[in-house]
Structure 1
Amino acid sequence: MNFLGIFLACGCIVCSMMLEGTSPAMMLELPAFLVVVGASFFACWVQFPLPQIIGAFKCMLWTLAPPRIGFESQVELLVGLSTTARQQGLLALENSISSASDDYTRDGIQMIVDGVDKDALKEILEQGIAVEEAKYEPYAKMLEAMGGYSPTMGIIGAVLGLIHAMSLLDRPDELGPAIAVAFVATIYGLVLANIICLPASNRVKGIIAEMGLYKYMTLEGLVSIASGENTMMLKRRLAVYTGGDKTEGGS
């Protein structure tokens, strides 16, 4: 649904052009595309290593298919683990490792089964969250940087187009269209920045924050289980992350 917003935003611009009597075909300018998109990309390459650039473009796919983060299902899993641990002991959790939906949770359960101290467990799980945030943060920054460079590249493209237009002063019939084409690069730069890169960057930041919240909730639950807290206390801890609707109803 977020990816659809890009098309709708661009569609509004195209409709506006058509209402004013301007042909959208005028926007199809390869030189402007090369200056804005190509130069912005390689400017980012100066700032970021290629693997981070590739990772950033992969994260842009989150606007099309964001990762599913199931808070409610995770609460159910943690409550079930707590019940099992209270009734059968921590070693019985080994049978539940495969039911976890992500490696972070599976690793946490395995550490509990292996008898890792609760303080060490918390430290390791917190470190895992910090590492993941450090991994994804450059992706959002790269998209943000490209959104910052592209308007400037659009101005450069416009200036280059105007330089060409000035060479046509002796041909007035070609001068007007050349000036119009010169400003296409400016539009490319503004669209790339304000409809694609900057919104995508903020979207990535939002998903990273949601993933971090999910893992902090998982951390709270696993440490609670390792500490031997009762299931009601676990539900109260998890209710902070889910708003309390699901957990309070089940208590």
Structure 2
Amino acid sequence: MDKLSVAGLLIAILAIYVGFSLDGGHLSALFELPAFIIVFGGTVGAIMLQSSIVQFRHALSLLSWIFYPPRYDMERGITEIITWATKARESGYLALEDTALEIEDTFTQKGLNLLVDGAELENLRTSLELDLELYREHNLRSANIYEAMGGYSPTIGILGAVLGLIHAMSNLTDPALLGQGIATAFIATIYGVGFANLLYLPVANKIRTIVHQQTMYREMVCEGLVSIANGENPHAIENKLSAFRLVQ
């Protein structure tokens, strides 16, 4: 579990709660079902309108990354590549066939299989770079969905505020209904701005960060496999890949 994400979310919620309480507010005042339905439902509906069903489902599946992000160890990856280079140099590419079967990462497994099959150097690089670009683009589009939600949410919050004021103005003679309408107006604005800045935009940026880490790791794997296919010695490959340690 990503403890930093958990801590960040808790700190944000506690900061709002403590600040509101110190000013004499009550937490129950922040819960307004009509305002929640308007802001959250309106935002989700707008995103569904602009997205394909495949991309929308993929964006939902990436939510688990916020607390359980995939881990890519650059140091371990470099060590594995050097091991593969040594084995290939001593016993040939076919010696990596069993290794490919043990690899869980589909990108790395594909690269090793291409190497074992004797793919030409240029074809190996082109195939891996194409996979890398498409994978990166697919996941970044999911990040863009959450960023778009961060843009729609405050605006829909304003829409909820206007609706609440309309309801309040139509009940000027009834203090109970007047108060409810005003509460919906203000809380809808809070929901719109709060969801955008405490949830949607941070989630979008978190996904982008993880995709960047994945991309760098896979670029390292691609460069390592191409170097092996090019017949470079393990020491030279290690020197080439050592720069990737800086982006861990």
Contact kept, 8 Å, 1:85 with 1:225, in 2: the verdict is yes
Between the aligned partners of 1:96 and 1:216, the Cα distance in structure 2 is: 20
Aligned residue runs from structure 1 range 58-137, under 5 A:
58-137=61-140
TM-score (norm 2): 0.93
3-state SS, counterpart of residue 11 of structure 1:
helix
Report if aligned partners of 1:77, 1:100 keep a CA contact under 8 Å in 2.
no
Cα offset for 1:3? 3.6
Q: Residue type matched to 1:145 in 2?
A: A
Whether the aligned pair in 2 keeps the contact of 1:159 and 1:182 (CA below 8 Å) is yes
The match for 1:57 among 54, 57, 60 is 60
1:10 is displaced (CA, Å) by 1.7
Once residues 124 and 195 of structure 2 are traced to their aligned partners in structure 1, the CA distance between those partners, rounded to angstroms, is 44
2:186 to 183, 186, 194: 183
Bigger shift: residues 141-150 or 159-168: 159-168
Does 41-50 or 51-60 show the bigger shift? 51-60
Structure 1 distance, partners of 2:104, 2:56, is 28
Task: List per-residue Cα deviations over 1:79-102 (Å, max 9, x = no partner).
Answer: 100111111122211132134341
- Normalising by structure 1, report the TM-score: 0.92
Letter in 1 for 2:79: E
Gaps of 5+ in 2: none
Structure 1 contact 154–188 (Cα < 8 Å) conserved = yes
Q: Is 1:17 aligned to residue 49 of structure 2? A: no
Distance 2:64 2:231 in 1: 41
Percent sequence identity is: 38
Q: How many residues align?
A: 245
Aligned mates of 2:67, 2:74 — CA distance in 1: 21
> Structure 1: how far apart are the matches of 2:200 and 2:34?
20
Does structure 1 residue 152 correspond to structure 2 residue 124?
no
> Which deviates the most, 1-10 or 200-209?
1-10
Looking at structure 2, the residues matched to 139 and 241 of structure 1 have their Cα atoms a distance apart, in angstroms, of 26
| Post-superposition CA distance 1:40-83 (Å, at most 9, x none) | 10111111012212211221221111111121221111010011
Kept in 1: contact 2:103–2:109 (CA 8 A)? yes
Cα distance in structure 2, aligned partners of 1:217 and 1:84: 19
Matched, 1:34 2:28: no
The amino acid of 1:35's aligned partner reads: I
Root-mean-square deviation (CA, aligned residues, Å) is: 1.7
Unmatched tracts of structure 1, length 5 or more: 246-251
Q: Which residue of 2 aligns with 1:248?
A: none
State the 1:180 CA deviation: 3.1
